[in-house]
Amino acid sequence: MVTGMATTYILGISAYYHDSAAVLLRDGVIARAAHEERFTRRKHDAAFPTEAVRWCLDAEGIDLSCLRHVVFYDKPFLKFERLLETYYGFAPAGLTSFLCSMPSWLKEKLFLRKVLEDELARACPGKPLATEVLFPEHHLSHAASAFYPSPFRSAAILTVDGVGEWTTAMLGFGEDAAITRLAELPFPHSLGLLYSAFTLYLGFRVNSGEYKVMGLAPYGDSEAEQTRRFERVLREELAQVQPDGSVWLNQDYFDYAAGLRMTRDQRWERLFGLPPRTPESELEQSHMNLALALQRFTEEVMVAMAGEAKRLTGSSNLVLAGGVALNCVANSKILGSGLFEDLWIQPASGDAGGALGAALACWHLVLQQPRRLDGRGDAMAGAFLGPAFSREDLERTARRHQATGTYYEDFSALCEAVAGHLEQGKVVGWFQGALEWGPRALGNRSILADPRDPETQRVLNLKTKFRESFRPFAPAVLAEDCADYFSPGRASPYMLLVAEVAPELRRSLPEDFRGKSLKDRLYTPRSSLPAITHLDFTARLQTVHRETNPRFWGLLQAFKRRTGVGVLVNTSFNVRGEPIVCSPDDAYRCFMRTHMDYLVLGDTLFDKREQPPWPEPPPSVEDLKNTD
């Protein structure tokens, strides 16, 4: 037990796979949390989170000697055991992969404790680390990240990802400070790896393109014979699902267990009658139909797993984590199933969130500290847990770039000015307060636009984000007005649920809509808020609450006063292939390298037309149109 009055600090770390991160707990409360990619500007950075660790300690004003524990998010020895047994089981097929991976394991990963201690010493020189590194299991870290920050005293726990050490999915039960593991799905059978395999086959990157597949699925034709055939083939040849949600994958079609690729492409091509899509090539209807078949299967499995969690626990609440918990459509299917009265999802459900769960598991399970529930919601502080910058920092950025802006003493006047620009169809970069934790921009590092404009989706995707035109945008809505625009009108502060656009806002689609090209369907207005209405009349919803983000809430109020609509398009402040901006320098560079019209840094508004020339101007609009 923790005794005495000294502050207890615990540092959680995830690294070496993807999305490295660091989290600092102060007496069990989340004090700091940051992704390494935001500092290094390397998307999904897997390296030791040197910059994130350094920021956590520096921002708190402590050094390594102040840490009670350092906790890594999984057990390397168990993972090594799984690799050895898998290679043995698939021998001799896995020889090439074995020879590629073993040097790294024998040199570094088997001695991870020493590697971590050395990396910490390099990141934070001075007083040495005065404690040892702890290693909870991967899915326990996910479970802890889901349950402990949740608002529930007790809840069923479901974690689903690619693979941890041996486990690919886990069911558990959390009550007060205890977590009990109830059931597990073992490698190589994995819903997460199945989704990643399809992601790669559809021409997107594993561990970063899965959400693109989810966004592509609604463009699939649910009535088409090809879609039905894809579903039959998936269920009869590739994967089987049991009533409890456990899945079995036919390893004759996969190569991830002991090889160097996710799929055996020639077998998949014979199976689906569809060759693997080349990255960046044109998306055809068959690709959309395949994405739809996969998404439907994923939703069925997730609902079945949730049903088993309900059967085992009897709980009225469910918490989710793991990479698959970022599939907001599947999450909403669980919520809509009526299995549970309430649902809470960790905002950083992927591997980055493992750093948080590892630290919380140490606090509650190792140090045996009780949970503190105040009845006012979750413990994530709105997920605004990263670096924040002072007015002086923002002014230094402006001077460094010789930027011209207008400073507003009155924040409400700034909101009125920005709302006016948004109403006129302008695109605004919005940089405020502390950086978000998790993959979603939630109003502190956001690009904003008017959801009523039919051109907004095209403009944002091509002129600002430089990304695939089919990608949908999310609405940020005043929490108190949510039910006026969406059903169900429930809180969704972390953009991890979808909701249907209210029927009275929808527009009828032409009879030949399904037969139109992707581009024609994409740019056919489907509601009075066309920029945020997906093909199936859904939207990935963010509710904005005055208590957690008063500045973003204030801007939405100003936009509502001008337009009568308390909704804005909110997309992450970055361009394709880059992480969300962290610093004001990152924000200004992104502003100048795109066709964004205005930038807000704190209380200062910058007009693109008034800025000095930038050495790397954005691509011309005509060139971008040619890639649409």
Residues 327 and 406 in one domain: no
Contact 59/386 with Cβ under 8 angstroms? no
Whether 88 maps to a domain, the answer reads yes
Q: Which residues are within 8 A (CB) of 73 and not within 5 positions of it... i.e. 6 or more apart?
A: 12, 13, 14, 136, 138, 141, 351, 354, 355, 357, 358
Could you tell me the pLDDT band of residue 48, with boundaries at 50, 70 and 90? very high
Going by pLDDT thresholds of 50, 70 and 90, the confidence category of residue 17 is: confident
In the sheet with 21-26, reading across from the earlier edge strand, the strands are: 29-35, 21-26, 9-14, 67-72, 133-134
Mean pLDDT of 99-128: 79
The residue with greater pLDDT, 4 or 27, is 27
Residues 550-603: tens digit of each pLDDT = 999 999 999 999 999 999 999 999 998 899 999 999 999 999 999 999 999 999
Answer whether residue 241 is part of any domain. yes
What average pLDDT score do residues 248-261 get?
80
Is the per-residue pLDDT at 627 higher than 50? no
End-to-end CA, the chain: 60
CA distance 3 to 11: 19
Q: Identify whether residues 421 and 556 lie together within a single domain.
A: yes
Residue 512 pLDDT level (bands cut at 50, 70, 90):
confident
Give the pLDDT score at 5. Answer: 53
- CATH code at 34? 3.30.420.40
pLDDT, mean of residues 171-183 = 98
Residues 421, 470: one domain? yes
Instruction: State pTM to two decimals.
Output: 0.94
Count of beta carbons in the 10 Å neighbourhood of residue 409:
7
Mean pLDDT of all residues in 238-249: 96
Number of structural domains found in the chain: 3
Do residue 466 and residue 577 come from a single domain?
A: yes
- Is 382 a residue whose pLDDT tops 60? yes
**Confidence band, pLDDT 50/70/90 cuts, at residue 461:** confident
Strand pairing class (567-572; 445-449): antiparallel
Q: Within this chain, do residues 278 and 361 fall inside the same structural domain, yes or no?
A: no
> What's residue 269's pLDDT?
94
CA-to-CA separations, 597 to 32, 248, 500, 614, in angstroms, rounded: 32, 50, 30, 14
pLDDT score of 312: 98
Alpha helices, H only, 337-400: 351-361, 391-400
3-state class (DSSP) for residue 522: helix
Is 385 domain-assigned? no
Q: Specify whether 607 is located in the same domain as 497.
A: yes
Which residues lie closer than 8 Å to 381 by C-beta, 6 or more apart? 30, 548
> Same domain for 315 and 410?
no
| pLDDT reported for residue 3 | 46
Report how far residue 418's alpha carbon sits from residue 545's, in angstroms, rounded to the nearest whole number: 19
Average pLDDT of span 497-514:
89
Pairing of strands 317-321, 154-160: parallel
Residue 427 lies in a domain: yes
Query: Taking the C-alpha atoms of 38, 44, 49 and 50 in order, what is their torsion angle to the nearest 10 degrees?
Result: -60
Q: Do 473 and 542 fall into the same domain?
A: yes
**Residue 3 in domain:** no
Q: 628 falls in which pLDDT band (50, 70, 90)?
A: very low
Longest dimension (CA), the chain: 72
Question: What is the percent of the chain where pLDDT is above 90?
Answer: 76
Domain range for 15 is 9-139+354-379
**Long-range contacts: 620-627, Cβ < 8 Å, 24+?**
621/462, 621/463, 621/595, 624/462, 624/463, 624/466, 625/462, 627/462
Are both 369 and 510 inside the same structural domain? no
Residue 144 lies in a domain: no
**Residue 511 sits in a domain of what CATH number?**
3.90.870.20
Contacts 24+ apart (CB under 8 A), 374-378: 375/151, 377/151, 377/547, 378/149, 378/150, 378/151, 378/344
Residue 292 falls within a domain, yes or no? yes
HSE-up (13 A, CA, CB side) for residue 185 = 29
Q: How confident is the model at residue 80 (pLDDT cuts 50, 70, 90)?
A: low
The answer to whether position 512 is within a domain reads yes
**Same-domain check for residues 107 and 179:** no
CB-neighbour burial class of residue 279 (10 A; exposed 0-12, middle 13-18, buried 19+): exposed
Residues making up the chain, counted from first to last? 628
Res 469 pLDDT > 70: no
| pLDDT tens figures, 602-624 | 999 999 999 999 998 777 655 54
pLDDT exceeding 70 applies to what percent of the chain? 91
Q: Does one domain contain both 157 and 306?
A: yes
* Same domain assignment for residues 92 and 32: yes
